[in-house]
Structure 1
């Protein structure tokens, strides 16, 4: 089991693209979603699939378990997906020794770009990169489960 502190941000501009060192095409879908747990399948680059179970209602810190799944099984389970199938490209970007995962969404979520920072401890704001926009940690509408169920998040005015 992995305990993580996950912070999520909208992205201010595209300057992060200069520091990309890895890209992963992701297709993911949910098999179960509730306020305190989720079960999803994620296929990376069409080559490997994982089942992820997350427990806890605090979006910033949850218990997470991951297991490999045969690609054929993942393809069959897609028929049981709840809501939208999420398609995105994840970009790995390093800044100040931390790894940021910048997700550029496609299909129905095109136009949404979100950066996540998962660490065992909280990173001070002064070490965050300038290309990050507003922090949306804990805002349910930006969780992948909510995106699958509800689509593109409505902006807060």
Structure 2
């Protein structure tokens, strides 16, 4: 079992784009959701797929179990999704020795851009890039689970 420790921010400007690698197109669907846990399926560039189970331990730390699954299984599970299938393109940006993942949402959440950084420990203090906006770590309105099951675009302060 892996531990996922991350901080999450809205993105305030396009300053990250010049440092970004090639994006990965993601489709993500939840097949089980509860207040403190979820099971999701993710399809990456229509070529790879993963099944992930997350159990929350706090606002920054979660237990994470992740497994490769066949693309055909992922597509079948997506048909059984609870709520929306999330559409986003993920870009990786190196900054201050950390890899930042910038998610540019499409579909129902078009215009929403969120950056996450995974940490080794909750006490890690990465240098924050100038293109970040407000921190939303622990704000359930910006979790993918919420975006898939409860949210609509109008409920968010959209950033570009």
| CA deviation string 1:77-106 (max 9, x = no partner) | 112100000000000000011000000000
| Partner Cα distance (1:33, 1:138) in 2 | 17
Superposed CA deviations along residues 125-144 of structure 1, whole A, max 9, x for unmatched, are 6x111111000000000000
Matches within 5 A, 1:5-154: 5-121=5-121, 122-124=123-125, 127-151=127-151, 152=153, 154=155
Aligned to 2:85, the other structure's residue is in SS state strand
- Between the aligned partners of 2:154 and 2:52, the Cα distance in structure 1 is 23
Deviating 4+ runs (over 4 angstroms): none
**Local SS of the residue matching 1:77:** helix
- 5+ residue gaps, structure 2: none
Which structure shows the higher strand fraction?
Answer: 1
Residue range with higher mean Cα deviation, 53-62 or 40-49: 53-62
What is the Cα-based RMSD across aligned positions, in Å?
Answer: 1.4
Could you tell me which runs of 5 or more consecutive residues in structure 1 were left unpaired when the two chains were aligned: none
Matched residues, number: 155
TM-score, with length taken from structure 1: 0.93
Q: Secondary structure at the match of 1:78?
A: helix
Task: Tell me the secondary structure at the aligned position of residue 83 of structure 1.
Answer: coil
Instruction: Determine if contact 2:84/2:149 at 8 Å carries over to the other structure.
Output: yes
**More moved, 133-142 vs 18-27:** 18-27
Q: Deviations over 1:14-56 (max 9, x none)?
A: 0100100231000000000101110000000100000000012
The TM-score normalised by the length of structure 2 is 0.92
TM-aligned CA deviation for residue 60 of structure 1: 1.2
